[in-house]
């Protein structure tokens, strides 16, 4: 009689996905400006919200957004998490911070890394700025920004996050 075997609880099965991303006109403009080192959004002609990255229409009003707005690479932490678990294939050593950052001039956030900070001191309303890679390395990707890092500026009140104007950059 053979020994009873333990239940199988884990099966490792590598999955590879190869895909092409067709940007569409609004994201293509966003990515083109990103390659020039410029963050842009689009303003809704009805509600005036500025979206980054723009998808070509306002999800609230359902109207096209065609006016491009140049945004700051300074922003405010809207929310964040401290990642403590290593992610397979990700070269970044935990613990590290992933934050939702609202760039000045926009009304919504995007996700990016936050570094050069004390993780336990990161907080909502904290001011941050992008650290860009050298221009020679810029492509059509948010990876042009290595990460965001804290700015020595006063915090933004929670109800003011996503409502800051861009000074001197509006196109
Ligand atoms: Zn709108």
> What are 24-33's pLDDT values in tens digits?
999 999 999 9
Tell me whether strands 67-71 and 96-103 are parallel, antiparallel or unpaired: unpaired
* Separation of CA 53 and ligand 1 centre (Å): 15
* Separation of CA 66 and ligand 1 centre (Å): 12
* Separation of CA 71 and ligand 1 centre (Å): 18
Q: Beta-carbon neighbour count of residue 63 at 10 Å?
A: 12
pLDDT in tens, 43-89: 999 999 999 998 999 999 999 998 999 999 999 999 999 999 988 88
Local structure of 107: helix, strand or coil: coil
Q: Beta-carbon neighbour count of residue 123 at 10 Å?
A: 9
Strands annotated E in the chain = 39-43, 50-51, 67-71, 74-83, 96-103, 110-114, 127-132, 145-150
Nearest alpha-carbon partner for 30 in 66, 60, 64, 62: 66
Q: What whole-number percentage of the chain has pLDDT above 70?
A: 96
* Residue 39 pLDDT > 50: yes
């Amino acid at each position: 009689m053979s020994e009873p075997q333990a239940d199988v609880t884990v099966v490792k099965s590598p999955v590879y996905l190869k895909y092409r991303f067709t940007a569409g006109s609004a994201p293509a403009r966003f990515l083109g400006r990103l390659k020039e080192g410029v963050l842009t959004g689009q303003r809704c002609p009805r509600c005036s919200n500025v979206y980054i990255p723009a998808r070509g229409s306002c999800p609230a009003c359902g109207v096209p957004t065609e006016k491009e707005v140049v945004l700051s690479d300074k922003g405010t932490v809207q929310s964040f998490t401290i990642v403590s678990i290593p992610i397979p294939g990700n070269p970044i050593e935990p613990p590290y911070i992933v934050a939702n950052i609202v760039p000045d001039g926009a009304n919504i956030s995007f996700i990016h890394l936050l570094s050069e900070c004390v993780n336990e001191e990161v907080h909502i309303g904290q001011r941050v700025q992008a650290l860009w890679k050298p221009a020679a390395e810029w492509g059509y990707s948010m990876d042009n920004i290595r990460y965001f890092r804290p700015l020595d500026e006063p915090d933004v009140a929670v109800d003011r996050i996503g409502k800051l104007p861009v000074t001197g950059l509006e196109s």
